[in-house]
């Protein structure tokens, strides 16, 4: 349908605006000025984009094939951006928020940042946990204490506008969060994320474990030669089996599903083991060859279980695969023997981390008792002579002030993983649209409007209507997004 709006003047000659040209009042309820589409098409496009995660090309094809509407990709991208801006303004509307929080006694706020790429801006999101609603998002070039405190002050203004007290803040132990929340919300409990704490406590243990793996790999030599021998043997048998057939097809079967390893590949041992186990698509199976029993076949894995005795009846002549598996098991056993003592020490560290984690569980007694056990572990680790225990004690001391706050009332809130899991929503949105595993920097570039729009569609699965978006038609992009 093509809409033609006739412009006119005020019929009253004494009117000050008599000479000015006016458009019909109802025009904006059908389509906005300078738009080539109506509100219904805009809402259709926004719902497909933000709720169903359609790409621009999909929307463009469906509009043309199903409705005869031809729009360029640039126009569609511009309309999607307009849709995000208006929907984000609707999410930020104070009156709408006030109606949403009428039955809420106090609010719980959480803040965290998302940085898809190093060196890029970080998108900080403030989310309220009782209603599970994103309040706002802003991209910061520099996550300094002053910039982060400005966001926390903005959250304080929102809470005061709602007239609701803040019962708890939840975040990781980033210095900017700690100082900013303490300055803007004096007396409000600030709980540190237990998941971030356990990650930091376990970090020196993980580094020690990684060092032992490096030592182990230095002794595991010969995997590449085993794989080359297997591939060479398979290539020879494939050429013999494919006599008289097409050479191109023969080469396809020779490489098989695994193919030759690229230069510098570190997974040669695993791939070689897969080839040794046999595959139904390999030419040996077509010729009637069956792999002999091995420790891989019975599920025990390499390096475990009894050795195969060549003097056992029926074992006088071992097959090719069995010999290669023996070589592979020997390589792995040499590496494990090299780091056996270090692994035992690391197992002791893991038990200590489990003791620390047990003090954070609410089933382990009252908060005072668990905190006393926690401080006892700190004293024990500080008296230890090894550096790993001392590093663990330093991390525990730095997190002690915020791990046991909100006793009883907010006991179920242990970490801000709820916000971290929410970050998967924009990441999944970008991956489903563009087909890349990496979410990209678009989340940060359009985050101030993209994030509230995606959050709005989570609680509103149906398309938004003209009445929902019309009051926000004059909304503008936030400065940080421009």
Do 51 and 461 meet the contact criterion of CB atoms below 8 Å apart? Answer: yes
At 427, the pLDDT band (50, 70, 90 cuts) reads confident
The model's pLDDT over 58-87, given as tens digits with 9 standing for 90+, comes to: 999 999 999 999 999 999 999 999 999 999
Is pLDDT above 90 for 415? no
Strands (E), 279-339: none
- Stronger pLDDT, 244 or 112, i.e. the higher one: 112
Q: How far apart are CA 419 and CA 132, in angstroms?
A: 9
Q: How high is the mean pLDDT of the chain?
A: 79
Span 256-267, average pLDDT? 40
Of 453, 442, 455, give the one whose Cα is nearest residue 123. 442
Which whole number is the average pLDDT over 379-406? Answer: 85
With a cut of 70, say whether residue 248 has pLDDT above it: no
Least confident of 141-155, 187-201, 359-373: 359-373
Percent of the residues in the chain that have a pLDDT greater than 90, as a whole number? 27
Q: Where are the domains of the chain?
A: 94-196+416-434, 197-209+346-403, 217-340
Give the H or E element holding residue 107: strand 107-114
Q: Which residue has the higher pLDDT, 290 or 141?
A: 141
All residues at 6 or more sequence positions from 227 whose CB lies less than 8 Å from its CB, including other chains: 261, 268, 269, 271, 272, 275
pLDDT at 368: 79
Q: Give the pLDDT of residue 284.
A: 38
What is the pLDDT, as a whole number, of residue 61?
Answer: 95
Average pLDDT over residues 295-299: 36
What is the rounded CA–CA span in Å between residue 49 and residue 47?
Answer: 5
The 10s digit of each residue's pLDDT in 165-181 is 998 898 888 889 999 99
Q: Is the pLDDT of residue 276 over 80?
A: no
Structure tokens at 207: 């580094």
Widest distance between CA atoms in the chain: 117
What fold, for 94-196+416-434?
Answer: Nucleotidyltransferase; domain 5 (3.30.420)
Strand partners of residue 166: 107
Distance CA 114, CA 427 (A): 10
Measure CA 448 to chain center.
18
How many whole angstroms separate alpha carbon 116 and alpha carbon 253?
41
Measured distance CA(228)–CA(456) in Å, rounded: 55
What is the arithmetic mean of pLDDT over 195-216?
A: 86
pTM of the model: 0.69
pLDDT in tens, 430-459: 888 877 767 677 888 888 999 999 999 988
pLDDT number for residue 70: 93
Q: Is residue 304 over pLDDT 70?
A: no
Residue 237 is predicted with a pLDDT of 66
**Nearest-10 Cα torsion for 19, 20, 24, 27:** 170
């Amino acid at each position: 349908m093509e809409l033609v709006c006739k412009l006119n003047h005020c019929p009253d000659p004494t009117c000050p605006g008599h000479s000015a040209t006016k458009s019909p009042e109802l025009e904006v309820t059908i389509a906005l000025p300078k738009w080539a589409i109506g509100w219904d098409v805009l809402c259709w496009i926004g719902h497909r984009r933000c709720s169903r995660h359609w790409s621009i090309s999909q929307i463009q094809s469906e509009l043309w094939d199903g409705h005869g509407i031809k729009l360029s990709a640039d126009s569609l991208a511009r309309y999607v951006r307009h849709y995000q801006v208006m929907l984000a303004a609707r999410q930020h509307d104070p009156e709408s928020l006030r109606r949403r929080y009428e039955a809420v006694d106090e609010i719980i706020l959480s803040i965290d940042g998302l940085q898809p790429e190093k060196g890029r801006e970080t998108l900080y999101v403030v989310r309220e946990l009782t209603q599970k609603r994103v309040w706002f998002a802003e991209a910061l070039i520099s996550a300094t204490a002053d910039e982060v405190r400005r966001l926390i002050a903005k959250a304080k203004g929102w809470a005061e506008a709602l007239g609701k007290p803040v019962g708890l803040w939840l975040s990781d132990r980033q210095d900017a969060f700690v100082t900013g929340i303490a300055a803007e919300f004096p007396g409000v409990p600030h709980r540190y994320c237990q998941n971030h704490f356990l990650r930091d406590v376990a970090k020196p243990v993980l580094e020690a474990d990684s060092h032992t793996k490096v030592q182990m790999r230095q002794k595991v030599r010969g995997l590449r030669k085993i794989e080359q021998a297997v591939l060479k043997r398979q290539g020879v048998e494939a050429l013999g089996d494919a006599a008289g057939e097409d050479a191109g097809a023969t080469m396809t079967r020779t490489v098989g599903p695994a193919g030759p390893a690229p230069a510098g590949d570190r997974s040669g041992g695993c791939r070689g083991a897969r080839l040794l186990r046999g595959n139904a698509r390999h030419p040996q199976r077509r010729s009637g060859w069956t792999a002999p029993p091995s420790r891989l076949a019975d599920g025990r894995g390499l390096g475990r279980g009894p050795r195969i005795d060549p003097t056992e009846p029926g074992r006088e002549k071992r097959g090719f695969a069995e010999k290669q598996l023996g070589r592979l098991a020997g390589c792995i056993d040499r590496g494990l023997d090299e780091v056996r003592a270090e692994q035992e020490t690391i197992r002791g560290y893991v038990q200590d981390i489990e003791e620390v984690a047990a003090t954070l569980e609410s089933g382990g007694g009252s908060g005072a008792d668990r905190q006393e056990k926690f401080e006892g572990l700190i004293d024990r680790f500080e008296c230890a002579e090894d550096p790993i225990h001392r590093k663990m004690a330093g991390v525990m001391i730095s997190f002690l002030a915020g791990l046991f706050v909100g006793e009883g009332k907010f006991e179920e809130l242990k970490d801000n993983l709820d916000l971290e899991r929410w970050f998967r929503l924009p990441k999944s949105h970008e991956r489903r649209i563009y087909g890349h595993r990496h979410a990209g920097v678009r989340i940060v570039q359009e985050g101030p409007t993209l994030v509230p729009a995606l959050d709005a569609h989570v609680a509103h699965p149906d398309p938004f209507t003209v009445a929902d978006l019309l009051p926000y038609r004059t909304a503008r992009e936030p400065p940080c997004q421009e």
